Amino acid sequence: MTTLLWKDYRLNRGLLLLGIVLLLGPYAAECVLVLYGRWPSWPAAADWSARLLDASFFSLVLSQLTLAVLAGNSIAAERAERSAEFLACLPPSRLQILASKLLLVLLAAGAIWVVHLSITDWVVPTMGTPVASSWEQWGPRSTFVAGTVMLFGASWLGSAVLNSPASATILGIAVALVGGPLLAQVVWALFTSGAREALPFCGMIVGLSVGLLCFLSGSACFLCRAEP
């Protein structure tokens, strides 16, 4: 399993580096901006925390791209370069191969959320700036997570079915940006009395359902599929 994980890391090393840039880039940019804005004096803690909160939002949004590309690349990349045929003739089971790919994406997702949560729930509060409590942020965060699950699931399905990582990623982004919101609107219109407050909840349910369904069908497709 460790060997498979190493191979998947090597296969996605470039993307992971890009992911680090997208994850930390907004923080670096905001730091430069806050220093530039207050130069030559040192910025106050409130300036820092406001900028860090902005950066954490942008970083989280940009990191969704990393997850989409990673999920889209995970299976289809080996099929595109035909090394999937080589791997299929080695002893690891399809389940082990799949688990290693999933683990890599989950580790990346975990790292993204660890960075985000440590900034918003630990660094910013220690600077003395009051922020919304975790409970208050639960709503927007859960909607965001649902969107991530949908993006990841659709890219994962695309990767399991298609031969091109780019097409798989585009499919994931299209589903998350177009299909998901449209479906959420339909669900909202059909199953609620039109209350605006219900819309994020519908979005969350749709995002999680579509994402999980796509993930499960993509995994099943990979497990049953013969390479090439």
Partner 1 sequence: MIAEASANLAIELNGVTRRFGKATAVDDLTLRIPQGHTFGLIGPNGAGKSTTIKLLMGILRPQVGYVRILGIDVFAEPSRMKKRVGYVPEVPQMYRWMRVGELIGFCRAFYPTWNDDECARLLDLFALDTGKKVRHLSKGMAAKLSLVLALAHDPEVLILDEPTSGLDPLVREEFLDGVLGAVCKHQRTVLFSSHALEDVHRLADTVGLLYEGRLLLHRGVEELLTSARRIRAVLRDGCLPRYEPPGLVWQHIERREWMLTVSEFTPDLLQTLRKENDLEHLEVMGLNLEELFKDFVKGRKKTT
CB of 98 to partner 1, least distance (A): 14
Site for partner 1 in 85-104 (CB under 8 A): 85-86, 88-93
Q: What are phi and psi of 91, to 5 degrees?
A: -60, -30
Site for partner 1 in 150-209 (CB under 8 A): none
User: DSSP secondary structure string, 143-196?
Assistant: HHHHHHHHHHHHHHHHHHH-S-HHHHHHHHHHIIIIIHHHHHHHHHHHHS-S-T
Judged by CB under 8 A, the stretch of 58-66, 83-91, 129-137, 188-196 that binds partner 1 is 83-91
CB of 224 to partner 1, least distance (A): 9
Structure tokens at 203: 């979005």
Residues whose CB falls within 8 Å of the CB of residue 38, separated by 6 or more in sequence, listed in order: 44, 47
CB of 167 to partner 1, least distance (A): 21
Residue 147: other Cβ atoms inside 10 A: 23
CB of 135 to partner 1, least distance (A): 46
Q: Looking at beta carbons only, is 64 or 74 nearer to partner 1?
A: 74
Q: Which residues bind partner 1 (CB under 8 A)?
A: 2-3, 6-7, 10-11, 81-86, 88-93, 226-227
